[in-house]
Chains A and B, each alone.
Chain A
Amino acid sequence: MNLPLAFFGGVDPWIFTFSFITVAITLWMGFRSAKTSKTASDFFVAGRSVSVGWNASAISGEYLSAASFMGIAGMVMSSGYDALWYPVCYACGYLFLLLFIAGPLRRFGAYTIPDFAEGRFDSPMFRKIAVCFVLFIGFFYTMPQMKGAGVTLAYIFPGLPYWVGVVLVGAVITLNVALGGMKGITLVQAVQYWIKLFAITVPIFVLMAVVGFYNGQVGANLAYGETNASAANLNHATGIERKPLVAKAPADPAWIAPFGPLTTKAVNAAAAALPAEQRAAFLAEHQKPYSLVYTYSLIIALVCGTAGLPHILVRFYTNPDGVAAKKTTMWVMILIGVFYVFPPVFGVIGRNLMPELYSGVGAKGTDKVVLELPTLISAKYGVVGSILSGITCAGAFAAFMSTFSGLLVSMTGALAHDVYGRMLRPKSSSAERMVAFKLAAILIGGVAVTLGCFVEPLEINFMVGQAFAIAAASYFPLLFMSVWWRGMTMKGAATGMLTGGLCALGAAALTNLGTLALDKGPMGKIFAGFAPLNGYWAEHPLLRILCEQPAIWSVPLAITLMIVVSKATSAQVPADIRMKMLVLHAPEKLGLKQEYIQDHQAGAGH
């Protein structure tokens, strides 16, 4: 062991200390600010005075999850160029939010998407339908956070099984939310952003200074048609060293070029099932077109999905007006854009200098490259490597803790407030609702932990992409169409949202079950019943791609259904639709919102 301070059972004290401090600070800040703002309306209404800078940091802090912090690096390492679409679209999806949704939604003044759904169509019924997707998207989003927790704890405590980490972190955060801490407080989330940015940039700059910069590290990989001689020249100029790749790693040309292992997986599996002499012809015909379809579907899912994430949209209501909402969105893009440049660098350096991770499975695989990479410089600089690794662990903790607790709060709110308070027991007292809130938190936390224990073989980043695909086919069409088309009816909106969203949900679930059946560990045995799926997909690779990345058909399906059904039920367009549209689109300075509220109250008073 060349880690000088490695005592107590292989645990590196530096890594342990940094992670522990982050957890302690987060919990302490959560409880402290929870004391000052007791109710949800306190948080929402008082929060409206939040400045653009704080609000943008808070949105970024909540948005950068385990997928951004650990998953992207892991996926760039395992799949190369194609994985770059994830960080780019995670950041650029905010442009759609900015262009079409942020301003109008803020002007309308509903707190959450279910609030908006009810207000836009005057339909409490639709609210109940819309609320389901908070839970659907939420669970898909919590699974990768749980995997991030399991991977990080298994790294800090090398002997710990994956599931213990999931249960431990899940239990701590769930209890914290149930006991009233961490109510998505702006200040906490904003600080979390800066912790994450610090934790990703400082280690990577130190690493790059020691082992060579981003461009040189990419350059060390041969592109198609390049020879070792030209690469040797390049490497000589930049001074990059590489370790030999292991057998499971993709070859250089496939890794560095578009349409690599990520997007061609289905076609390659199909080719492997064919007789040897047909393989080359099959690949030549299908490989590139199919991976183009995959790429476009992925782009649609991520760009549209960002504009429909429930836990992010909530934060736009803390802006004082529509202009501030737009400015906040722009700053969010800048803050997260700056962040997203760096995770791929970890993946690239990891490929060159830590190729042994390719052989690892589950918690020991490429998803932990961000945590482990800084220890590369331990040999040269001793304890500095451990300290830097401790910093990235702290950042990972900040990432999955902030996102998981944010999701838990919004899902618990949906279950306790909407499902219990409005559907099951509309006459319950406020004390009963408090109990319901706590029970709902424990229930949802429990389900999230259980799901989290099953997903060890799946890539963190991939799972978050699925949550985006579901949001893209449900909430995005709802918001986009309701804001810009006055002919929408409740029935049209509901049909489109339910069909698109459920199709995407089903497709994503099928894909995961198929992948889990392939696992060589215990999960493979549990899900062995789904193994025939993979056989079917091997014969129909295009269906597999459309199932893995459903956005390319589910988003148009949702929008088409919305238009068709709304046309068919056009008599049911809300009567005051012109006023609603004015409130959505006219500048606040005209004071139409107050007028609308007065009209509405007068109408309700009859």
Chain B
Amino acid sequence: MPPPTPPEKDQVHSEEFLRTLMRRQLCLSVSCAATFLVVLLGLPLLNYFAPEFMANRVAGFTLTWLILGVLFFPFVWIISWLFIRRSIALEEDEVQSVNQPKR
């Protein structure tokens, strides 16, 4: 049973709206952070458990030096670009859902 359409203000101020809002944003942030942390915290583990593999030479660098000293930067740029695109889309969506409440 859908409740009678609330006035716009009340929807924004409802507990439910805030909960969904924060949950959706936190989900996005946490999933991006998880991707980043897996790589960031995984690299020392790889160094620890597979030192020979990480010491393989790639064009003069050792593999681990190449990853940390060069490749890590573009990796983070990609995550941040994806995050910004999605979070802007998310905000647009929230604004729309408030301006055109569902019936």
Contacts and interface: CB of A to CB of B under 8 A. Distances in A.
B95 interface: yes
Given A256-B65, A258-B51, A326-B87, A100 B40 contact: no
B51 to A, nearest CB: 7
Contacts of A103: 87
A208 interface: no
Interface of B: 12-13, 15, 18, 21-22, 25-26, 29, 32-33, 36, 40-41, 44, 47-48, 51-52, 54-55, 57, 59-62, 64-65, 68-70, 72-74, 76-77, 79-81, 83-84, 87-88, 91-92, 94-95, 98
A327 B41 contact: no
A333 B12 CA distance: 34
A358 interface: no
Contact of A587 (B32, B59, B79, B91): B91
B18 A337 contact: no
Given A92-B76, A223-B55, A218 B68 contact: no
Interface in A283-301: 288, 292, 295-296, 299
B23 to A, nearest CB: 10
A153 B80 CA distance: 39
Contacts of B60: 214-219, 234, 238
Instruction: Say what secondary structure dominates the interface of chain B.
Output: helix
B12 A586 contact: yes
Interface string A315-350: 000000011001101100110011011001000000
Given A292-B48, A341-B70, A587-B91, A91 B76 contact: yes
B51 A257 contact: yes
Contacts of A84: 65, 68-69
Given A88-B68, A292-B44, A98 B62 contact: no
21 contacts: A85-B68, A95-B33, A95-B79, A99-B29, A100-B33, A218-B61, A256-B55, A256-B62, A257-B47, A257-B62, A258-B64, A295-B44, A303-B40, A323-B91, A330-B81, A333-B80, A341-B69, A341-B70, A344-B69, A578-B18, A590-B95
Interface residues on A, range: 35 or more
Instruction: Say what secondary structure dominates the interface of chain A.
Output: helix
B58 to A, nearest CB: 8
Nearest to A592: B12
Given A99-B29, A295-B44, A585-B21, A218 B62 contact: yes
B77 A334 contact: yes
A405 B11 CA distance: 47
Contact of B76 (A288, A333, A582, A589): A333
Nearest to B73: A337
Contacts of B36: 92, 95
B77 A337 contact: yes
A92 B40 contact: yes
Given A88-B72, A323-B88, A581-B18, A96 B62 contact: no
Given A88-B72, A333-B80, A224 B44 contact: no
B41 A296 contact: yes
Given A88-B72, A323-B91, A484 B26 contact: yes
Nearest to B94: A587
A98 B36 CA distance: 12
